[in-house]
Amino acid sequence: MIEVFITNIFIYINKYIIIMNGRKIFDEIYGTVLFFSLRILAIALGLYIGYYIISTRAMDKLDNLCLTHSSNCMTVEVYRYKNTFLARDDVSQIWFWYNGTTLYVYGQANGTCQSTGGKPFEPVNAFQMTVVKESNGNEQIRFSALPNVCIDGINTILNYYKNELNLQMESFIIRRKNPSEVINIYTIIQSMYDNNIFKFKA
């Protein structure tokens, strides 16, 4: 009986050792799997965050270049000289001239002008422009309408910039800050100012 009892004790001890070793092996395997799973998850998360950041910046760059959401963009062709410019937008094809003090818009004013010495004159809308800094820090151009005037025709002004000053026309694709706004002379000038195409003389 004593021999059987001792034998059974050894059997139970051996089984206990086997079970404990099995648990230890299982714990080691589980720990290893968990460790590598967490590493894979961290790598995947890092790749996703990196992709998101890069793609977001890339989209911003494409937006600024008007390669995406191009309906929010416009093309403006400009001759620039010092703090003056002669420009037209690609949609309306309306010419507008800023001589450093006053903005003149061709093709919109009613009436006729008499030529002097064979030199053609055209009626134009005239505006005084001032910049107002808003509470949010944005600079907004304010337009004050002046009486319509007769000035040199557009071909005369165009010839001055193109031939006398020997300037090349520059083409700018610009994004509007507020795409919901109607495209008109006011939003075009504001967009040009926002994109540093011209600045008012200090």
Q: 134: which 2 tokens?
A: 């808003």
Q: Among 97-106, 123-132, 172-181, 188-197, where is mean pLDDT lowest?
A: 172-181
Tokens of 179: 């795409």
CA-based max dimension of the chain: 141
The sign of the CA dihedral 97, 181, 131, 124 is: positive
CA atoms within 13 A on the CB side of 134: 6
Q: Where are the beta strands (DSSP E) in the chain?
A: 73-81, 84-89, 95-98, 103-105, 121-133, 139-152, 170-175
| pLDDT tens column, 35-86 | 677 778 788 887 777 766 665 565 555 555 565 555 667 788 999 998 899 9
Amino acid at 198: F
